[in-house]
Amino acid sequence: MPHATSDLKKFLDNKVHEYNNARFIKGDPICVPHAFSLQQDIEIAGFFSALIAWGNRTTIIQNANRIMDAMDRSPYQFIVQHQENELKRFLDIKHRTFNATDLLYLIHFLKMHYATYESLEDAFLLNDAATMRERLINFHRYVFSFEHPERTRKHISTPEKNSACKRLNMYLRWMVRNDTQGVDFGIWNKLSMKDLIIPMDVHVSHVAYRLGLINENKANWKTAEGLTEKLKAFDPNDPCRYDFALFALGAEERVR
């Protein structure tokens, strides 16, 4: 694996080109929001798909689609117009430790949010936060600003606890990144691509450490920020495009 800066950039750029294309969509949880065209449908489908994106990808996609099916494949309309008795259809939906209690609370949160805002992007723009760390901390506090089940808090990560916030950062990549490849949506424009943080998990941490991009093989907020800063040397305006390369090298190609 290359380590010299110029060779490493070329190597990663080639991997981005290989994986950042429409062929990537079908086997990835991002395929679930790709079934929709209305902005709010995309962001809601993306939110739930990202939130349960751990474990087997086939199972993730199946369970995310179960949620969308229960919303009659019109998630925004369901969120803002559903009646109490319609919530019963979610009681048997779960994904690993994410269960109906968590799902029903987040449906309630989204209903409250969309009563005030047109887009879920606004939930990441609270209190004039200057950094992505502050935005994610504020988002976590906002999600749980309503009466909520304590167990659901573990499903929305926060940098305040040094979590890498992998799934939230992946979701933000989906919504914010705007290129011509057709994988990410680029439907949010108040947040900037240059401020996104690499979605860091154990696979990405391992690859980044092997490549000399981080000093500790740990998947936490500190290493996610540090890795993103290193990648800004390759592309200061879109460091998260390298997520395609690092994820592929870790999860697809199993770099040792």
Residue range 167-211, pLDDT digits in tens = 999 999 999 999 999 999 999 999 999 999 999 999 999 999 999
- What's the pLDDT tens digit per position in 14-48? 999 999 999 999 999 999 999 999 999 999 999 99
Give the other-Cβ count within 10 Å of 98's Cβ: 20
- Answer for the pair 15, 248: CB distance below 8 angstroms, yes or no: yes
CA 184 to each of CA 20, 69, 99: distance values in angstroms, whole numbers, following the listed order: 9, 23, 27
Give yes or no for residue 125 having a pLDDT over 90. Answer: yes
Please tell me whether the overall predicted TM-score, pTM, comes out greater than 0.85 for this model.
yes
The angle subtended at Cα 158 by Cα 153 and Cα 161, nearest 5°, is 100
Residue 255 has pLDDT above 60, yes or no: no
Where in the chain are the domains?
A: 5-252
For the chain, the average pLDDT equals 95
Terminus-to-terminus CA distance in the chain, angstroms?
10
CA-CA distance, 236 to 40, in Å (whole number)? 29
